[in-house]
Structure 1
């Protein structure tokens, strides 16, 4: 492989079956660009995905990959990273996959701070199962199963992450290609758990949270002189229910990844040849 990595090196020969216009196309392209920009290549990259439209991403990217079960992608990703710290591990999910059945794993992955990246394609609906309300759907969002809306406030994933002790929280818009790739790149470069919630519109079942809606409403934190190292400022932005934003909202520059803190630096395939004592116990904790 050439020493110059291009984002097209991460494209598999499988054609995506997402609906034409799906925001996940842009989300995936940004992930591939970010991986290439950070000097990674398919040979040292592992993509883990769950269930839902986002779950197909491991098939469409040329790298090591595992298609897990609903809500369980994060513990698999953590296990992969601890088993082989040399790999760049990226976990992909959706708002249903990550913030509903996978919410418990999300909170614990955040607080453990394993050095990997979590990209969530948030379209505020269950797309694969034909349009039910998701954890991030608006309270009055009408669907066939919630004709009067869910009648409960949407989950704020960034508030969950902040409360759980996150060391990197960001949000992007899949169609803003340059900024999206830049934000994911920052998450990859972060020492610890890099969390990016991506607005990835569903053009088939969500006619409320559309491309036009996000283009008109998104505020870029970089243009507001937001300081992502200021915890109180980050909390204020995250809890502002009337503000849709993109950018890095919080980054703890003193973050020490879980794997580094516990001395997990050896490839577990060499467990019998000098792997740190108790390393496998750390891996088993995630299962």
Structure 2
């Protein structure tokens, strides 16, 4: 790469590969792909320092369509592979693109420990509440009673909340957005990219073939104002077409109230704090269920030492004390024995 090329500003087109994008027409994956390709040129990171790792599923074709380094790995193991890459090459911006089945079923253990360790990964989970690639079986996020090919009488599993799982594992950045709100999607991805530790983003996504309409209330122009609530740091939890509704606590239970009625003022409403150290408020919001609105935005954003930074410090300390190691010395150190 010559100096002129290095100085040339990157554009969205620089991150578009020559592969034909093969998702179903209308799939939310297209929205994520476009917003990611728009975001990366703005981050000030050389293109060769990006890597995208995926597992198995519709979303896992993502690395093919990014003109970056990447790997289409095996089912559920993308966080493990991405963790190894980030530890070996901490200067890289490493992204994981996954789905609700890939990350929360067979990959659940890897997902949890990626959150716990706070490795500097950016993990995007596209949640369409169904197995799309394998043609419509229920997933860990499918709603109770969901009728699918594998649950013809309705699912009796209680669904996971990906946000709750991430928060329960101690993730330092947790957010939720939706494929149909491009501005909110872009803003959320940018916040995730700038976070120094593990950044987890759940993208609510429509599967037009096997679970069409899964998020109609949240995405519909006529219903979304009442069905979702946008989380903004330091601001009261208000929603509705004119912002007249809000969330008030009655003891330990949240309730929907109308500001201006029965003496209720904005001062009575719950105030969002994404930086709260203990994460209790974030987890509380992650458990909202109908008739409460669906929270959208950043639930938690706190800074803590990242695993890759701590690992680099350990390695530097070991080199300072013992010098650079060699594979031969490693094999012949400690207890060794000879088998005749």
Q: TM-score, normalised by structure 1?
A: 0.88
Counterpart in the other structure of 1:249: 299
Residues 39/123 of structure 1: CA separation in 2 closer, same or farther (3 Å cut): same
Alignment partner of 2:275 out of 229, 232, 255: 229
CA distance in 2, matches of 1:156, 1:119: 15
Alignment partner of 1:136 out of 124, 135, 141: 141
How many Å apart are 1:245 and its aligned residue? 2.4
How many Å apart are 1:251 and its aligned residue? 1.0
How many Å apart are 1:181 and its aligned residue? 1.3
CA distance in 2, matches of 1:161, 1:47: 20
Superposed CA offset, 1:22-42 (max 9, x none): 011111222222322222342
Assess if the C-alpha contact under 8 Å between 1:259 and 1:265 holds in 2. no
Does residue 220 (structure 1) correspond to residue 234 (structure 2)? The answer is: no
CA distance in 1, matches of 2:211, 2:218: 11
SS in 1 for 2:312: coil
Does residue 57 (structure 1) correspond to residue 59 (structure 2)? The answer is: no
CA distance in 2, matches of 1:275, 1:247: 45
Counterpart in the other structure of 1:263: 312
Residues 147/235 of structure 1: CA separation in 2 closer, same or farther (3 Å cut): same
Superposed CA offset, 1:238-262 (max 9, x none): 1222342221110113x11111122
CA distance in 1, matches of 2:134, 2:313: 39
Does residue 179 (structure 1) correspond to residue 189 (structure 2)? The answer is: no
Q: Which protein, 1 or 2, shows the higher relative CO under an 8 Å CA cutoff with sep ≥ 6?
A: 1
Equivalent positions of 1:112-151 (< 5 A) are 112-151=117-156
Residues 237/212 of structure 1: CA separation in 2 closer, same or farther (3 Å cut): closer
CA distance in 1, matches of 2:194, 2:210: 34
CA distance in 2, matches of 1:168, 1:97: 20
- Matched length: 271
CA distance in 2, matches of 1:213, 1:251: 24
CA distance in 1, matches of 2:15, 2:83: 21
Alignment partner of 1:29 out of 6, 10, 34: 34
CA distance in 2, matches of 1:25, 1:176: 13
How many Å apart are 1:19 and its aligned residue? 0.3
Give runs of ≥4 in structure 1 deviating > 3 Å.
Answer: 210-215, 274-278
SS in 2 for 1:159: helix
Superposed CA offset, 1:143-178 (max 9, x none): 122122211210111111111111010011112111
Which piece of structure 1 moves more, 220-229 or 43-52? 220-229
How many Å apart are 1:265 and its aligned residue? 9.8
Assess if the C-alpha contact under 8 Å between 2:135 and 2:210 holds in 1. yes
Aligned residues: CA RMSD:
2.2
Q: TM-score, normalised by structure 2?
A: 0.75
CA distance in 1, matches of 2:91, 2:133: 34
CA distance in 2, matches of 1:183, 1:276: 42
CA distance in 1, matches of 2:65, 2:325: 35
Residues 232/192 of structure 1: CA separation in 2 closer, same or farther (3 Å cut): same
Counterpart in the other structure of 2:53: 48
